[in-house]
Amino acid sequence: MKNFSHASHSALAVALLLAFTGCARHGPPAWQGYLEGEFVYVAAPLGGQLETLSVQKGAQVAAGAPLFALERSAELAAQRQAAARLADLGKGQRPTELNAIEAHLAQARATAELSSRELARQEKLFADNASTANDLDRARLTHEANLRAADQLAAELETARLGSRADVVEAAQAALAQADWSVAQKSQSAPCTGLVFDTLYRAGEFVAAGSPVVVVLPPENIKVRFFVPESDFAALQAGATVHVTVAGASPLAARISYLSPQPEYTPPVLYNRDNREKLVFMVEAVFSAADARNLHPGQPVDVAP
């Protein structure tokens, strides 16, 4: 009787094990994973003291909203200097300098007028044989020199009124554009709509050039990363839909965006007695923006086809 009871219990245990195994084999597969975020690190290309931090950790920001501003007194001074130089180049020389050139031009024209009269007198004397050819030539050359001097001063006056050369003005314009850019870069706005995941500096601290100050997480950058055994991996395709379950929430649809071509061991975050030595393939899937808005990186999830 004892042997019969032992045999009955063994048979029942084997039957239950087979039934459980059969159910596990024919049920839909389930894979473990976690939520991952691709963060946007907002930094300024120039360094400086953090003057204003306009957002707090955990806040939602819209694209274009101000995030932070660095101290920019030196950049503003350089901007004013570049703007003043460009304006000065467009004005030409100062009025007193222009007056001096005009006075020299008037004197040169008066001298040319006198030499013109002297030339006419020498021509009349030469015609009356009262003057030599040398006197006539001297008067002619003197008058021509005086005319050239007057023309040169007239050209200098016109140039002085025009302002600086085109290449000098272009260089000044480039300097002003550089100064404007430096001022603008000291203030940074949100490049996209999303969650302020973290702030890395406080007001008053010095921020090195290129160091992130605010970390933004756009909803569309949240994805699920899960690990699939080789037996299930072949059935998955990019673009296919999977269903992701977060604890305490209804399953969410996600679209497979990446399938790893290389197998790996189950990552430590998912170790347990059943899968710690299994080779798996990493798969990533993305959510719609509406579904991703309430998700948080690091949450463990279960994924099913």
- The secondary structure of 2-38 as a DSSP string is HHHHHHHHHHHHHHHHHHHHHHHHHSPP-EEEEEEE-
Average pLDDT over residues 203-228: 94
pLDDT at residue number 101: 86
59, 208: one domain: yes
Mean pLDDT is lowest, of 26-35, 62-71, 118-127, 184-193, for: 26-35
Burial of 125 (0-12, 13-18, 19+ CB in 10 A): middle
260, 198: one domain: no
Domain boundary among 162, 196, 217: 217
pLDDT at residue number 274: 55
pLDDT-above-70 percentage for the chain: 86
195, 258: one domain: no
Stronger pLDDT, 163 or 77, i.e. the higher one = 77
pLDDT-above-90 percentage for the chain: 53
pLDDT at 18 exceeding the cut of 50: no
Whether residue 58 is contained in a domain is answered as: yes
32, 45: one domain: no
Whether residue 45 is contained in a domain is answered as: yes
pLDDT at residue number 266: 65
pLDDT at residue number 79: 94
pLDDT at residue number 22: 43
pLDDT at 131 exceeding the cut of 80: yes
Whether residue 258 is contained in a domain is answered as: yes
Average pLDDT over residues 58-81: 95
Looking at the 3D structure of the chain, how many domains does it have? 3
Supply the CATH number for residue 241's domain.
2.40.30.170
pLDDT at residue number 25: 44
> CB–CB of 302/243 below 8 Å?
no
Domain boundary among 126, 157, 180: 180
For residue 134, give its domain range: 79-180
171, 96: one domain: yes
pLDDT at residue number 74: 93
Whether residue 23 is contained in a domain is answered as: no
Whether residue 13 is contained in a domain is answered as: no
149, 291: one domain: no
pLDDT at residue number 27: 56
pLDDT at residue number 269: 53
pLDDT band for 24, please (50, 70, 90 cuts): very low
254, 283: one domain: yes
pLDDT at residue number 126: 86
Average pLDDT over residues 89-104: 81
pLDDT at 26 exceeding the cut of 70: no
Average pLDDT over residues 32-47: 94
| Contacts for 295 with CB less than 8 Å, ≥ 6 apart | 35, 222, 246, 287
Whether residue 3 is contained in a domain is answered as: no
Average pLDDT over residues 276-295: 84
Supply the CATH number for residue 194's domain.
2.40.50.100
298, 250: one domain: yes
176, 101: one domain: yes
Whether residue 133 is contained in a domain is answered as: yes
68, 210: one domain: yes
Whether residue 294 is contained in a domain is answered as: yes
- Paired tokens of 242: 């999977």
What is residue 76's DSSP assignment?
H
Task: State the Cα–Cα distance between residues 47 and 59, nearest whole angstrom.
Answer: 25
> CB–CB of 200/57 below 8 Å?
no
211, 225: one domain: no
63, 195: one domain: yes
Q: Across all residues in the chain, what is the average pLDDT?
A: 84
Average pLDDT over residues 229-242: 90
